[in-house]
Amino acid sequence: MAEVVFKVFRYDPEKDETGRVQEYRFEPEPGWTVLDGLNHIKWNLDGSLAYRRACRHGICGSCGMTINGKNRLACETQIKELGTNVITVEPLRGFAVIKDLIVDMEPFYDKLYAVKPYLITKTPPPTDKERLQSPEDRQKLDGKYECILCGCCTSSCPTYWADKNFLGPNALLKAARFLFDTRDEGFEERLNAIDDKHGVWRCHTIFNCVEACPKELNPTQAIVDLRKLILRGRL
């Protein structure tokens, strides 16, 4: 493949007052992803570059970053498919930068914990079998459980940029994953967090999250469904 220029955001809190852009030029192998390019830089050109990665297969969610202005998984973004030989790589917007492409995910996880992202049950389980679901009830979770917590959706949300207390599309999608689970009995426990001016009512249905999600999920629809659920609960 022809030479590419990676323009990578760099920030070292021990040396830099602000972020800067560093350029790296190299010829990628055919089939390389942006993550392969970053690995090439780290392993061959500049070992000081910091970024997160683990699975290389779009599963772990570690490598969410902003590539040519769009939030994506670096391991699922083919260099060739970007259609340009100039590739900008930046940390996810709206999150504090710890170093280079690594952002502070703690506030993101705090929002996730606020919606209690686990099955809540109050009735005792059957003694002779698991808590079963019909195939139809299981299908209601499709599009809600596949989130890999990469942060691409929350980072792309203008409402989150303006209101750092907004739960954000990821946490609300996760709330929907459990609230629409027919085995769950945690509606009251989650209500305080989601039925709030920083919860479902803060979303302005801008749909950036839908565009950003690498798993093609629809957090905006989940938020609309949660609003209906809350309103039905009030009737």
Contact status: 175 vs ligand FES (CB under 6 A): no
- Residue 203 structure tokens: 């979303």
Query: Out of 50, 58, 85, 227, which residue is the one contacting ligand FES (CB under 6 A)?
Result: 58
Contact status: 54 vs ligand FES (CB under 6 A): yes
Q: Which stretch binds ligand FES (CB under 6 A): 54-62, 92-100, 128-136, 190-198?
A: 54-62
Number of neighbours of residue 130 by Cβ within 10 angstroms: 8
**Under a CB-based contact definition with an 8 Å cutoff, are residues 209 and 149 in contact?**
no
Query: Out of 1, 45, 55, 231, which residue is the one contacting ligand FES (CB under 6 A)?
Result: 55
Contact status: 60 vs ligand FES (CB under 6 A): yes
Task: For residue 71, give the nearest of 213, 215, 169 by alpha carbon.
Answer: 213
- Residue closer to ligand FES (CB basis): 62 or 71: 62
- Residue closer to ligand FES (CB basis): 33 or 159: 33
Contact status: 215 vs ligand FES (CB under 6 A): no
Number of neighbours of residue 106 by Cβ within 10 angstroms: 11
Q: Which stretch binds ligand FES (CB under 6 A): 56-64, 85-93, 101-109, 222-230?
A: 56-64
Q: Which stretch binds ligand FES (CB under 6 A): 58-66, 103-111, 131-139, 156-164?
A: 58-66
Strand order in the sheet with 4-10: 20-26, 4-10, 86-90, 64-67, 70-73
The DSSP annotation for 3-59 comes to -EEEEEEE--TTT-SS-EEEEEEE-PPTT-BHHHHHHHIIIII-TT-----S-SSSS
**Binding residues for ligand FES, how many (CB under 6 A)?**
12
Contact status: 61 vs ligand FES (CB under 6 A): yes
Residues that bind ligand FES (CB under 6 A): 53-56, 58-63, 73, 75
